[in-house]
Chains A and B, each alone.
Chain A
Amino acid sequence: MKKTFMIALKIGLGIFALLMMLGNNCITSGNIVVVIDNLPDLVGQTNTTFDSSPVDLENNSDWKDHRDQLNSVDDIGFACKITNHESSVATGQIWISEKLYSSPADVRTSAVKILDGIAIPAGGIRSIEWKESADFLSNFSEAKTIVYSASSKKEMFYLYFMVAETPFHIDVKDIIVFLSVNGKP
């Protein structure tokens, strides 16, 4: 029994040492959901109107409470209501960038496409909720870097709502961004 206790003690101490190597932060960290709502509605029309949605994390109290003790952005999600004013089905996309771009061409060249393949019926409305947005999520690794680098510098990034086809004419309402971040809860 004594021998067993000593072996268990050594293994326990080994695991404790491993935890200490990983750092105190490993034990005390948790995941926080940051909900960014109250973003302005957008209109997008080929060669006529093209709005971006600036997301300023400085304005979000949850983000401000945790930003100094963040380890990672673990998830990005969206919710929105997109209206397609064209007479053909539109494939909705969401792009993200650190810098502001003012035309669809610049966005396609320099931003990162984070959501793609949202089919919006001709002359119809498509609502996307947080859970469903994961079905269309792509390029997460690049996108989180944009959120992160923004957080370490000016805490701002830009979102663009576009359509794969041209011409396009959409408006986007009830835009919400969800971030799951790991840090001190």
Chain B
Amino acid sequence: MKFRIALLILLLSVVMINPMAQAFRFSVGAFGGLNLPVAQEDTKSGTVMGLKARIPVTTYLAVEPNYTYLKNGDGEAKIGSLGDITMTRDGGKYSTFGIDVVFGSVSGYKGLNAYGILGVASAKFAKKGLPDLTKGSLWLGVGFEFGITDYLSVDFRGKGLIFPYKDDDYDKGDTGSRKNGIITVGLNYYFGISEE
């Protein structure tokens, strides 16, 4: 419910902006990089990859529908009673569909651009042997984009995923979360009007 309210607020914010304020121009892109679980002993660092589209709604604001796949590395534990041998466990993986709001230099024209990122997503966490968890999640981060031409750019991003969940079987428990940081490199192609 909370996730739906957040999504609604986000969508309304975007719809209320005059779409004619910016000559229509959009991009599609792919990205990949490093996935760093935060404070999770049952996983290790892994990989991330995804697809995104950018639709600028003003010179300084854009929305980005996106799909992101994060694979955690296997968790490890040392077993003292067996001579400190190490055993591992599947670290799990996330599939997220979401919309990011990107604010800053978002036009994607030639040159260096920087922006902030705030987003919501529906994220599914799957781990071998356990029931899947699907929850509303949050993304936040920053990005730097270098436009090689007016149509082609490379971006570097640092983002954080907050995946909150509550165990409804345990009334004493509070809402906890899993958190992952990602560092990605992406390639984007822009369609629409050139600056020149």
Write the residues of chain A forming the contact surface with B, with a CB cutoff of 8 angstroms.
1, 3-5, 7-8, 10-12, 14-15, 18-19, 21-23, 25-27, 29-33, 35, 37-38, 70-75, 77, 79, 129-131, 133-137, 140-141, 144-145, 148, 152, 174, 176, 178, 180, 182-183, 185
Contacts and interface: CB of A to CB of B under 8 A. Distances in A.
Q: Looking at B128, B164, B176, which has the most chain A CB atoms within 10 Å of its CB?
A: B176
Given A21-B2, A72-B166, A72-B170, A180 B41 contact: yes
Given A8-B118, A140-B129, A180-B41, A131 B88 contact: yes
B75 interface: yes
Given A72-B166, A129-B87, A148-B170, A7 B103 contact: yes
A37 B82 contact: yes
Contacts of A79: 79, 87
Contacts of A3: 58
A26 B140 CA distance: 15
A131 B90 contact: yes
A169 B129 CA distance: 28
A4 to B, nearest CB: 4
A140 B173 contact: no
Given A11-B118, A174-B81, 10 more contacts: A27-B162, A31-B40, A31-B42, A72-B173, A74-B42, A79-B87, A130-B87, A144-B169, A148-B169, A148-B170
Contacts of B178: 31, 182
Given A5-B103, A134-B89, A140 B130 contact: yes
B195 interface: no
A33 B42 contact: yes
A8 B103 contact: yes
